[in-house]
Amino acid sequence: MQNRRWLSASVDDTRALGRALAAELAPDGVLLLSGDLGCGKTVLAQGVAEGLGVDPAEVLSPTFNLIREHRGRSGPFVHVDLYRLDPGQVDPLGLEEMLAGPGVKVVEWAERLPFPVAGARSLQLSRGSGGAGGREIVETTTTTSR
């Protein structure tokens, strides 16, 4: 499959992409987000939340909480941020179980996940070349061997 790629010119564009992805992810999909600080992962997660009927203002960059669960229109929306993941302190089994559980799950700093997530979609965000508000978002498809 060819990689999908989006160019976002603004916060609104990135939000709109999140809303569109929400429809594809519901009811139980996992979206893995990676990319540098400030590249728009939380903005994208807010768009997904909005698409699921969650107030996007509830979706913050968690400082201490790794995992926050919100109630969407037709099921949970789970927002995970692994920026502060301390591998020694987190039970990977619990995290793995949660990602296989109900609801739409969006993971920021997914490159820090210590295990692969079957069936997840992965997006890599970066600052585009088109000025301050430009972002490039690429869906990376991994070839899974079984």
Residues contributing to the site for ligand ATP (CB under 6 A): 8, 10-11, 13-14, 35, 37-43, 61, 83, 108, 133, 135
User: What does 133 bind: Mg ion, ligand ATP, none (CB cut-off 5 to 8 Å by kind)?
Assistant: ligand ATP
Report the nearest approach of ligand ATP to the CB of residue 133 (Å).
Answer: 4
Q: Where is 30: in which H helix or E strand?
A: strand 30-34
Q: Which residue is nearest to ligand ATP (CB)?
A: 40
Cα 107 from Cα 94, distance rounded (Å): 14
Which residues are CB-contacts of 40 (< 8 A; sequence separation ≥ 6)? 8, 11, 14, 125, 135, 137
Q: Name the token pair of 12.
A: 């609104």
Give the residue with the Cβ less far from Mg ion, 8 or 42: 42
d(CA 12, CA 43): 9
| Closer residue to Mg ion (CB): 93 or 110 | 110
Question: What is the pattern of x (binds Mg ion, CB under 5 A) and - over residues 102-121?
Answer: ------x-------------
Task: Indicate whether 41 belongs to the interface with Mg ion (CB under 5 A).
Answer: yes
Q: Which residues pair with 67 in a beta bridge?
A: 80
Residues lying near Mg ion in the complex (CB under 5 A) = 41-42, 61, 108
